[in-house]
Amino acid sequence: MVILVRTLIAFGPVPSRRLGRSLGVNNIPNKFCSYACVYCQVGKTLKMEIKRKEFYDPEAIFEDVKKKIEEAKARNERIDYITFAPDGEPTLDVNLGKETELLTELEIPLAILTNSSLIWCDDVREELLRFNFVSLKVDAVSEELWRKIDRPHKSLKLDMILEGMLEFRKEFRGELVTETMLIDGMNYGDEFEKIAEFLKELKPDIAYISIPTRPPTEKWVKPAKEEIINQAFQIFAKVVDRVEYLIGYEGNAFTFTGNIEEDLLGITSVHPMREDAVNELLRKANANWGIIEKLLNEGKLIELEYEGKRFYMRRLPSRDSSRK
């Protein structure tokens, strides 16, 4: 059964450190996920799921994306990828294959950022093959650390997920990247060597090393220290041709597509915006800070601080207990 609650499905284009100018697709309601990662920028997982469901009408998603593309083109805004990067795990969407089939007609490369949790399923792997760019989460390959950082659904099995990634790699001809999030306070021990051993077999085009750069779910989460980040880089670089950091700010090149409130709420649903980025978007829209005050007063936006920076996020159920 399709969930009929309307949301802002297409958002952006937003600046992406991996994908250039990315038009986001939010194909999962807030917040259905198979993980409850301690560092998640979207907030706490409200509905822990591993069973795939129908959330939105694929035709509605297609029309929403098409409309955003037309608005962006009218303003001479470049779009490098259409990217599935929703409020939860995108492969929980049972209509993912149909959606990619429709979106292919728009002749823009398709990307997806997945936590990899359902890649052991044959149907998920088959649908992921339709993408031009696939990012797989590899935060840990040891059970204890995986459960501590990613906090997966209790029925998920790490060995099946890792094997699913390797099976997918055998068939996938697009660009495959991995992302490993490093946070402070974890006892990584020899985990980097173990991850490197797995990456050697997986052969990603790029292995990304990232740290939390936006307000996380758990208040105690902080970016890993420089020596830990460097250690991971050096170990991964021995087995992967390209290892890159995802530790810097992606920039303020967010797109105004005609409705400033809609743009702000669409982007901040899945992509918390720094204060300077909000100011830049307001400048493009020829709008002032009064818009932000209005959305804050209406309870549509919340304001957070992380690592000395101020962020603005859409108020969603998953963020009701967030810091203020």
For residue 120, which of 52, 222, 36, 40 has the smallest C-alpha distance? Answer: 52
Tens of pLDDT, residue by residue over 233-266, are 889 999 999 988 876 545 445 656 567 887 777 7
At residue 282, the pLDDT reads: 85
At residue 97, the pLDDT reads: 96
Show the domains of the chain with their CATH numbers. 10-251 (3.20.20.70)
Q: What is the mean pLDDT of residues 37-56?
A: 88
Q: What is the mean pLDDT of residues 151-163?
A: 97
At residue 314, the pLDDT reads: 76
Distance CA 315, CA 320 (A): 7
More confident residue, 121 or 321: 121
> What tokens were used for 315?
């108020």
Amino acid at 227: E
At residue 303, the pLDDT reads: 79
> What tokens were used for 256?
């105004």
Residue with tokens 């306070």: 185
For residue 178, which of 122, 119, 113 has the smallest C-alpha distance? Answer: 113
First vs last C-alpha separation in the chain: 36
Distance CA 30, CA 42 (A): 8
**Close Cβ partners of 296 (under 8 Å, ≥ 6 residues apart):** 302, 303
More confident residue, 129 or 74: 129
Q: What is the mean pLDDT of residues 181-190?
A: 94
Tens of pLDDT, residue by residue over 189-222, are 999 999 999 999 999 999 998 888 778 888 899 9
**Close Cβ partners of 41 (under 8 Å, ≥ 6 residues apart):** 212, 214, 215, 216, 217, 271, 272
- Measure Cα distances from 58 to 54, 55, 63, 115, 131 in Å: 9, 9, 9, 22, 16
Residues in the chain: 324
For residue 302, which of 290, 289, 292, 288 has the smallest C-alpha distance? Answer: 292
The dihedral formed by the CA atoms of 168, 172, 176 and 178, expressed in degrees to the nearest 10: 0
Tens of pLDDT, residue by residue over 226-237, are 888 889 988 999
Environment class of residue 303 by beta-carbon count within 10 Å: exposed (0-12), middle (13-18) or buried (19+)? middle
Can you tell me whether residue 15 is helix, strand or coil?
strand
Answer whether residue 4 shows pLDDT above 60.
no
Answer whether residue 166 shows pLDDT above 70.
yes
Q: Which spans in the chain are helix H? A: 58-74, 96-103, 122-128, 143-149, 158-171, 191-202, 226-236, 260-270, 275-284, 290-297
Distance CA 79, CA 14 (A): 9
Distance CA 288, CA 280 (A): 10
At residue 324, the pLDDT reads: 39
Tens of pLDDT, residue by residue over 263-278, are 777 777 656 677 888 8
Q: Which spans in 133-190 are helix H? A: 143-149, 158-171
